[in-house]
């Protein structure tokens, strides 16, 4: 019976990883589109659209950082690492530790650093 329960747990964990990876892919695609729209609004001098798209970029950046499982935060692909490092540079004025931006903070440390909310903002 425990073998059956272990198999169920394994399948659930696998399904969760697949769902998380699919959502991360969606966030990357949407971010690319929204970022392009934001940049276009900037070039056109449209402050209203720029603010709208920039807010959405911030939401997607936050969602992306939260969606990374702790075991993957330290060993992310070069593309992902570049994305996170760009985000950290962009928001360097925030009181976010280097551990968070380099993916070495543990969830409890991230919660502590963000005032207990579990996110860097």
**Co-location of 5 and 62 in the same domain:** yes
DSSP 8-state symbol, 77: -
Q: State which residues form the domain around 109.
A: 72-121
Give the separation between CA 115 and CA 16, rounded to whole angstroms.
28
**Co-location of 51 and 87 in the same domain:** no
**Co-location of 86 and 57 in the same domain:** no
Number of structural domains found in the chain: 2
The CA distances from residue 51 to 31, 57, 59, 110, in Å, are 15, 10, 12, 27
Which position has the token pair 């530790």? 97
Q: Is the pLDDT of residue 116 over 50?
A: no
pLDDT in tens, 64-77: 888 877 666 555 56
**Co-location of 58 and 109 in the same domain:** no
Mean pLDDT, the chain, integer: 76
Does 99 or 31 have the greater pLDDT score? Answer: 31
Q: Give the total residue count for the chain.
A: 121
Give the separation between CA 103 and CA 57, rounded to whole angstroms.
20
Side-chain-side CA neighbours of 60 within 13 Å: the count stands at: 20
**Co-location of 90 and 108 in the same domain:** yes
pLDDT in tens, 43-98: 999 999 999 999 999 999 888 888 877 666 555 566 777 777 777 777 666 554 44
Give the separation between CA 13 and CA 16, rounded to whole angstroms.
5
Does 89 or 103 have the greater pLDDT score? Answer: 89
DSSP 8-state symbol, 118: S
Q: Is the pLDDT of residue 7 over 50?
A: yes
**Co-location of 59 and 5 in the same domain:** yes
Last residue within a domain, chosen from 51, 67, 83? 67
């Amino acid at each position: 019976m425990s073998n059956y329960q272990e198999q169920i747990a394994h399948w659930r964990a696998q399904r969760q990883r697949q769902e998380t990876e699919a959502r991360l892919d969606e966030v990357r695609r949407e971010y690319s589109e929204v970022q392009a729209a934001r940049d276009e609004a900037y070039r056109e001098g449209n402050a209203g659209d720029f603010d709208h798209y920039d807010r959405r970029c911030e939401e997607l950046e936050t969602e992306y950082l939260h969606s990374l499982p702790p075991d993957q935060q330290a060993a992310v692909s070069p593309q992902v690492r570049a994305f996170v490092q760009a985000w950290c540079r962009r928001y360097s004025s925030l009181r976010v530790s280097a551990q968070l931006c380099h993916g070495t903070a543990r969830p409890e440390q991230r919660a502590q650093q963000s005032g207990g909310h579990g996110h860097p903002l």
